[in-house]
Structure 1
């Protein structure tokens, strides 16, 4: 009779262990399905653009904004600060671009700020970098 009680107790323990393992497995699978967000490129500090008035020097722009993502020199000089934010709703799925920013700071021949443009996703094509 004692052997019967022990085996029944062991069966209860094994069943509880199986339930716990199944719950752990389901929890792990659900955690793997949560979405992710990705930030690539330049991260604009809060209030940075307000610190760059028209007529500011190129050195002042570099102090406030840091090194640009790229520079164009065809007709005057332009600093480009490029960023892209994407997300993946479910693990193992393709990322989708949700925001893309190109901040362009145009300089005149005296290397002072002529104008500032803030281009978004609606202003251009999606690109990978």
Structure 2
């Protein structure tokens, strides 16, 4: 009787050691830091090169700005022309969460009426909205109603069927 218990115990230990070895070999093929990482950080938009910005002093022409910094992310032409170079950093804590904007940098280059750089400004997330972005929603007419209120209002208009007399 003691022999059979020892054999079963040895078999269990052997099976356990084999499973641990297989798990270790399998996990060694994975990058452990990527396996445990659930958050993501996204950098989007224009990457500002400080040396390129230094080559565009006040008084530079519009063409010099375009050669040094490239095409702007956005332009505005109200009184005088403005070039905006926009970048932002978004963070998502887990795959199922909506990304949140944690940093925004806006380089604004203002031109005078002669097309020369008048001033250069840097805006960040703490400066608020410099301009409106697209909200991705379309307003519609009528009232916002919940499903339940639509169901209740819809049941009031259901006509009753005539009763047959028996």
TM-score by length of 2: 0.60
How far the C-alpha of 1:90 sits from its partner, in A, is 3.9
Q: Distance in 1 between matches of 2:134 and 2:36?
A: 25
Conserved in 2, the CA contact under 8 Å of 1:33 and 1:91? Answer: no
- Aligned partner (choices 60, 81, 87) of residue 83 of structure 1: 87
How far the C-alpha of 1:120 sits from its partner, in A, is 0.4
Give a deviation string over 1:87-120, Cα, whole Å, max 9, x none. 2244433322221011110111111101111010
Going from structure 1 to structure 2, the CA distance change for 1:31 and 1:93 (only over 3 Å counts) comes to farther
More strand per residue: 1
- Aligned partner (choices 99, 102, 117) of residue 106 of structure 2: 102
Name the residue aligned to 1:114: 118
Q: Distance in 2 between matches of 1:91 and 1:107?
A: 43
Give a deviation string over 1:21-80, Cα, whole Å, max 9, x none. 3994xx97x824443211111111132222111100111101111100011111111111
Q: Structure 2: where are the runs of 5+ without partners?
A: 136-166
- After TM superposition, what 4+ stretches of structure 1 lie above 6 angstroms from structure 2? none
The structure whose RCO (Cα within 8 Å, separation 6+) is larger is 1
The alignment yields a C-alpha RMSD, in angstroms, of: 3.3
Larger Rg: 2
Aligned length: 124
Q: Distance in 1 between matches of 2:65 and 2:117?
A: 8
Task: Spell out the pairing of 1:1-129 with structure 2 (5 A cutoff).
Answer: 10-19=11-20, 21=23, 24=27, 31-125=35-129
